[in-house]
């Protein structure tokens, strides 16, 4: 990482309160206007809030002389080798000297003077402040119709449904956050999904999020933007799903489990009442229900594994469910329940075999007992192996839920969230 370091502070002082970060990849045409606009914003913060600032251009391998232009205009140039919008922003934020970081595109589409309200929100206790183009206004020709009326509303709606962030415009390119919040979120997205990742992890960690109006203008480029709507839209959507195991795994597991248990329960009741001939559910439905129950069980285990991984990585808090289950769930209990299920299934199959042999191996009219026995063996095996998977994810610790729940409780007692720290101070 190379750095050109001119006098980027206001008034020649070395203290930096605010860093404006712009990702850059061949933006020679737009940089002069963007840097001048950002300098106006910093001058405004200096005069009204006595804050000093810097402008950091996070260069992603420009070949059009963007680096020289930025340095000549008083910005600090940081070279970021990892390619991608998110990688550039993260690299610039890591190099930032200010305790407040403003992020905005270097294409002239955002007015950095509007970041004054964002920094003010951070000073008043927010950890992350998002701009809302739908509140501030979108100029004609600034956003394609499919982005404005389909892409952004749909992706923001899905994000709010899954994570309850309460943000109106989750993909606005003008945003601000504290340096402490940036480090706490542990952002890793290299591409356009970086925008969603920031909001998702902020919502999951319970940091305080504010939102202020922001305007969007047509960019100044004479070339196509780096954004690819369908490709980047899919990257955003898949990232939302990967960070929402309760929806990606838990909801399908619950639906499949309920449907399969309903079919198996109905078939069992009909068989016990001796009304098999009048049943609308035949053997094929019973076989399908058994398969669905097995898939439901493994999907539920995947939901637990994904949630445990998120807690271990620090971007998800241990919920009340894990604290309640911590006393009962461990590798040993999962092995015992898995073994009991498998043994019960084997007993059922042996009973089926005994009756089949007693009937001289003739045709079996009802496959329900065989399906139940086989499904129990499958679920028992999944439970035992799933217990080992959860233990491995937890760092090879058998009491995986207990460890994480206890650690989370201790952390919440010992460490206040960033906003609470500031209010207490």
> Tens digit of pLDDT for each residue in 316-341?
777 677 777 777 788 999 999 999 99
Closest CA to 19 of 59, 76, 67: 76
The stretches of 152-250 forming alpha helices (DSSP H) are: 152-163, 179-185, 194-205, 229-242, 245
Say yes or no: 251 and 294 in one domain: yes
Spell 75-99 as b/e; 16+ CB within 10 A means b.
Answer: bbbbbbeeebbbbbbbbbbbbbbbe
Q: Do 146 and 134 fall within a single domain?
A: yes
Residues 156 and 264 reside in one and the same domain:
no
Q: Judge if 232 and 291 occupy the same domain.
A: no
Question: What is the number of helices (H) and of strands (E) in the chain?
Answer: 18, 8
C-alpha angle 417-420-422 in degrees, rounded to nearest 5 = 115
How many Å is the Cα radius of gyration of the chain? Answer: 28
Same domain, 152 and 279: no
Q: Supply the CATH number for residue 183's domain.
A: 3.90.550.10
Number of domains in the chain: 2
234 and 257 together in one domain? no
Using 70 as the pLDDT threshold, list the residues of the chain that sit under it.
1-14, 222-230, 275-280, 319, 402-425
- Residue 168 Cα distances to 109, 136, 151, 188, angstroms: 19, 11, 13, 23
Range of the domain at 408: 245-424
Which of the listed residues 220, 242, 264 is the one where a domain comes to its end? 242
**Contact present, 136 and 216 (Cβ < 8 Å):** yes
Query: Tokens in use for 210?
Result: 């504010």
Last residue of a domain, one of 195, 220, 242: 242
Query: What is the rounded CA–CA span in Å between residue 385 and residue 57?
Result: 49
164 SS3 class: coil
H or E element in which residue 4 lies:
strand 3-4
Please write the tens of the pLDDT for every residue from 247-290: 999 999 999 999 999 999 988 888 887 766 556 678 889 999 99
65 touches 57 (CB < 8 A):
no
Claim to verify: residue 232 and residue 253 sit in the same structural domain: no
Tokens of 144: 């394609």
CA distance 370 to 380: 15
Whether residues 238 and 255 fall in one domain: no
Pairing relation of β-strands 76-79 and 128-132? Answer: unpaired
On whether both 177 and 285 belong to a single domain, the answer is no
Length of the chain: 425
- Nearest C-alpha neighbor of 289 from the set 310, 316, 259: 259
Asked if residue 382 lies in contact with residue 297, where contact means CB atoms within 8 angstroms, the answer is: yes
What's the CA gap between 126 and 210, in Å, rounded? 6
In this structure, what are the phi and psi dihedrals at residue 169, rounded to the nearest 5 degrees? Answer: -135, 90
Last residue of one domain, picked from the residues 174, 208, 242? 242
Residues 110 and 139 reside in one and the same domain: yes
Token pair for 391: 């233990």
Per DSSP bridges, beta strands 76-79 and 53-59 are: parallel
Q: Which residue carries 């251009």 as its tokens?
A: 57
Residues 114 and 249 in one domain: no
The dihedral through the CA atoms of 240, 246, 248, 251 has a sign that is negative
Q: Do 193 and 107 fall into the same domain? A: yes
- What lies within 8 Å, CB to CB, of 311 at 6+ separation is 317, 318, 322, 404, 408
């Amino acid at each position: 990482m190379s750095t050109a370091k001119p006098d980027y502070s206001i008034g020649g002082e070395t203290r930096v309160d605010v860093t404006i970060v712009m990702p850059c990849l061949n933006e020679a045409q737009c940089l002069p206007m963007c840097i001048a606009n950002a300098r106006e914003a910093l001058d405004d913060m200096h005069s009204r809030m006595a804050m000093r600032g810097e402008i950091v251009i996070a260069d992603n391998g420009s070949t059009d002389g963007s680096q020289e232009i930025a340095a000549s205009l008083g910005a600090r140039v940081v070279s970021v080798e990892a390619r991608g919008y998110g990688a550039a922003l993260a690299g610039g934020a890591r190099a930032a000297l200010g305790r407040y970081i403003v992020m905005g595109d270097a294409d002239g589409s955002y007015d950095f003077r509007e970041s004054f309200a964002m920094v003010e929100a951070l000073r008043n206790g927010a950890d992350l402040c998002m701009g809302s183009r739908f509140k501030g206004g979108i100029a004609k020709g600034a956003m394609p119709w499919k982005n404005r009326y389909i892409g952004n509303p749909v992706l923001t709606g899905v994000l709010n449904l899954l994570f309850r962030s309460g943000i109106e415009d989750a993909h606005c390119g003008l945003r601000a956050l504290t340096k402490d919040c940036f480090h706490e979120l542990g952002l890793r997205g290299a591409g356009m999904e970086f925008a969603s990742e920031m909001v998702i992890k902020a919502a999951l960690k319970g940091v305080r999020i504010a939102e202020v109006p922001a305007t969007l203008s047509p960019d100044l480029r004479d070339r196509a933007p780096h954004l690819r709507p369908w490709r980047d839209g899919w990257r955003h959507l898949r990232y939302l799903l990967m960070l929402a195991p309760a929806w990606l795994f838990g909801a399908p597991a619950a639906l499949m489990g309920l449907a399969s248990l309903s079919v198996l329960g109905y078939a069992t009741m009909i068989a016990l009442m001796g009304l098999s001939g009048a049943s609308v559910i035949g053997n094929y439905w019973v076989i399908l229900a058994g398969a669905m129950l097995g898939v439901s069980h493994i999907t539920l285990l995947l939901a637990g594994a994904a949630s445990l991984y998120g807690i271990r990585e620090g971007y998800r808090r241990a919920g009340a469910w894990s604290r309640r289950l911590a006393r009962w769930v461990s590798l040993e209990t999962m092995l015992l329940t898995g073994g009991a299920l498998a043994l019960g299934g084997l007993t059922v199959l042996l009973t089926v075999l005994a009756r089949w042999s007693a009937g001289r191996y003739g045709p079996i009219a009802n496959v329900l007992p065989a399906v139940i026995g086989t499904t129990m063996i499958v679920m028992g095996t999944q439970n035992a192996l799933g217990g080992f998977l959860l233990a491995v994810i937890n760092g090879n610790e058998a009491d995986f839920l207990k460890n994480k729940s206890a650690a989370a409780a201790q952390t919440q007692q010992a460490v206040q969230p960033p906003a609470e720290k500031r209010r207490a101070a």
